[in-house]
């Protein structure tokens, strides 16, 4: 791969976090190499993988730069390390993609054209589909509901069959997902890096809100396609309780930073019913006690202001 080859005046660094990525990460890296019109430089940050995937990457992709960690330092810290390295280079864009996702050949070309169209556009996201079914939407722009909770637009919906797809224009969204997002260098210069209090999950929405507060627009581009094996990292590593804990705790942290007063109380009521009481009761009734305990612990840690990595 020709690291740093550019389309026009572009230089793009792709950051991929690997955590026992298996064969999925090789598909991810291959898709980045096969991108049309631009050959991004790729950096893989490995969080203590034990499945041999790092050795495979070195053998199959010798030009890719790798940062190795002996254990899981967290998605957020790993990405920040790579961003610091990228900022020291003459880079214009940083693209984040999960190791269990892959891009279409035209994805970069489309995202870059939208990003270049406006100086106020700071983050651009592709449409992300499920890798298994190919036509089911996982992410189609990030929005915030009336209670202040974040959600994926059109999640679970279907795109039209090939050949009948209506061309959808880019539109402004409220937050981006780190599963696939292109960020201008100026955004990091204005708002800093990802908040390491999150460790994993919700850090992308927090970063998005800070970017919007600084005057940058987040634009979603439905015609740029990415595919994602949903929750693959969770399934092959710690398990579902891991996601339960961090999503519960971090959503409370995220919304607490954005809302005050009555809006915060409204969110707490909604969250207590829909994301604490109902799932906890279900997990207890179905004997998934570790998952129910994870939610209770997450709420306790938020109240006690214990953030970052959960060691116990």
* CATH number of the domain to which 211 belongs: 3.90.550.60
CA Rg value for the chain = 19
Q: What is the pLDDT of residue 154?
A: 94
2 inside domain: no
Residue 4 lies in a domain: no
pLDDT tens readout for residues 90-127: 799 999 999 999 999 999 999 999 999 999 999 999 99
pLDDT tens figures, 2-24: 333 344 345 899 999 999 888 89
Over residues 154-173, mean pLDDT = 80
The predicted pLDDT at position 2 comes to 36
Domain finish residue from 235, 252, 276: 235
| 278 and 148 in a common domain | no
Question: Same domain, yes or no, for 65 and 182?
Answer: yes
pLDDT value for 273: 98
Does residue 75 belong to any structural domain of this protein? yes
**Average pLDDT, stretch 70-75?**
92
Tell me how crowded residue 126 is: count the other CB atoms within 10 A of its CB. 30
Average pLDDT over residues 137-148: 96
pTM: 0.92
223 and 275 co-located in one domain: no
The Cβ of residue 128 has, within 10 Å, a number of other Cβ atoms equal to 26
| pLDDT band, very low/low/confident/very high, at 161 (cuts 50, 70, 90) | low
Does 245 score more than 50 pLDDT? yes
Is the model's pLDDT at 311 over the cut of 90?
no
> Does residue 57 lie in a domain region?
yes
Q: Are residues 107 and 167 in the same domain?
A: yes
Could you say which of 202, 217, 235 is where a domain stops? Answer: 235
| Local confidence band at 133 (pLDDT 50, 70, 90 cut-offs) | confident
- In the prediction, which pLDDT does 279 show? 97
Note whether 81 and 136 are same-domain residues.
yes
Number of domains present in the structure of the chain: 2
Tell me, yes or no, whether 129 and 195 share the same domain: yes
**Tokens matching residue 67:** 């940062």
Angle at 54 between CA 6 and CA 202, to 5 degrees: 70
Q: Which one of 235, 258, 283 terminates a domain? A: 235
pLDDT in the model for residue 3:
38
The pLDDT of residue 165 is: 54
Give residue 312's pLDDT.
Answer: 55
Q: Does 3 reside within a domain?
A: no
Does residue 312 fall inside a structural domain?
A: no
State whether 216 and 243 are in the same domain: no
Go through 260-275 and write b for each residue having 16 or more CB atoms within 10 A of its CB, e for each that does not: eeeeeeebbebbeeeb
3-state secondary structure at position 277: helix
**309 inside domain:** no
Res. 285: pLDDT tops 50: yes
Range of the domain at 243: 238-303
Those residues with Cβ within 8 angstroms of residue 93's Cβ, 6 or more apart along the chain or in another chain:
10, 11, 12, 13, 112, 115, 182, 183, 184, 185
Q: What is the mean pLDDT of residues 80-96?
A: 93
Higher pLDDT, 230 or 221: 221
Q: Work out the pLDDT band at 162, boundaries 50, 70, 90.
A: low
Q: Are residue 102 and residue 163 in the same domain, yes or no? A: yes
Q: What is the pLDDT of residue 4?
A: 37
Same-domain check for residues 245 and 124:
no
186 and 37 assigned to the same domain: yes
- The more confident residue out of 248 and 132 is 248
- Whether 57 shows a pLDDT value over 60: the answer reads yes
Q: Is the pLDDT of residue 237 over 50?
A: no
126 within domain boundaries: yes
Check whether residue 161 and residue 273 sit in a common domain. no
Do both 113 and 223 map to the same domain?
A: yes
* Mean pLDDT computed over every residue of the chain: 91
């Amino acid at each position: 791969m020709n690291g740093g080859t550019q389309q026009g005046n572009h230089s793009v660094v792709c950051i991929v976090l690997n955590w026992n990525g298996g064969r999925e990460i090789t598909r991810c890296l291959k898709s980045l190499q096969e991108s049309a019109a631009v050959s991004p430089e790729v950096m893989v940050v490995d969080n203590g993988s034990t499945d041999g995937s790092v050795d495979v990457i070195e053998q199959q992709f010798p030009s890719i730069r790798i940062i190795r960690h002996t254990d899981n330092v967290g998605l957020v810290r790993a990405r920040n390390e790579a961003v610091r390295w990228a900022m020291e280079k003459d880079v214009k864009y940083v693209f984040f993609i999960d190791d269990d996702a892959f891009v279409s050949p035209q994805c970069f070309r489309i995202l870059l054209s939208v990003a270049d169209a406006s100086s106020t556009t700071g983050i651009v996201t592709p449409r992300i589909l499920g890798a298994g079914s190919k036509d089911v939407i996982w992410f189609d722009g990030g929005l915030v509901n009336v209670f202040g909770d974040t959600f994926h637009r059109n999640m679970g919906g279907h795109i039209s069959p090939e050949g009948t797809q209506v061309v959808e224009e880019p539109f402004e969204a409220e937050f981006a997902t780190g599963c696939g997002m292109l960020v201008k260098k100026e955004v990091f210069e204005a708002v800093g890096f990802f908040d390491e209090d999150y460790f994993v999950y919700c850090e992308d929405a927090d970063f998005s809100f800070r970017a919007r507060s600084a005057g940058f627009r987040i634009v979603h581009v439905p015609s740029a396609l990415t595919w994602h094996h949903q929750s693959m990292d969770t399934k092959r590593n710690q398990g579902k309780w891991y996601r339960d804990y961090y999503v519960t705790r971090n959503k409370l942290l995220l919304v607490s930073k954005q809302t005050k007063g009555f809006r915060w109380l409204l969110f707490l009521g909604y969250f207590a019913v829909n994301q604490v009481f109902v799932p906890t009761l279900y997990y207890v009734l179905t004997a998934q006690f570790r998952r129910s305990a994870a939610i209770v612990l997450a709420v306790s840690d938020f109240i006690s202001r214990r953030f970052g990595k959960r060691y116990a």
